[in-house]
Structure 1
Amino acid sequence: MPLVTPEAFVLGMSALGAAFTMIAAVGIGIGQGFAAGKAVESVARQPEAQGDVLKTMLVGQAVAETTGIFAFIVSIALLFINPLVGML
């Protein structure tokens, strides 16, 4: 008799994979904070360019945030839907 059933192994690895995908959220938060800080520095140097800097920063923040949303969706799928168990 095996110590770990295949289903338990797949569920455990899925939980571990979900945790690794959510580590992406840490990088996203750091990157967005860095971008916002640089935007503030840019506006402080050139206040007349505030509109352009704000638009560019918001587009960059939106693109970065989609990565976090995708990581969250993958984590939820691995934890609750888990298509890998059906392959056993």
Structure 2
Amino acid sequence: MREIAKRLGVSRASVAKYAQQEDFSPALPAPLNRPGASVLTGFEHIIEGWLGEDQRRNRKQRHTAKRIFDRLVDEHGYTAGYTKSRPR
């Protein structure tokens, strides 16, 4: 084990740990707990209506995501938060 550790440039404890290991399969990631429903549940028909009306409007006058959020808060009592997604 000492020679293996020296050749690989790792500690003898690491070599011993892996020498005793039987299963080298990677561990599966833990499943994410996600709520069953979207925070927009119940508001879909309202948003779809606004976007349908937007099809008849000039492109610059259409709803943005922020404007939809603001209208939901002002006109329909929407209480969830607004988080701007970051570009990847």
Please say which structure displays the higher CA radius of gyration.
Answer: 2
Q: Which has the higher helix share?
A: 1
Q: TM-score, normalised by structure 2?
A: 0.31
Question: Which of the pair has the greater relative contact order for Cα pairs under 8 Å at 6+ separation?
Answer: 1
What TM-score results when the alignment is normalised by the length of structure 1?
0.31
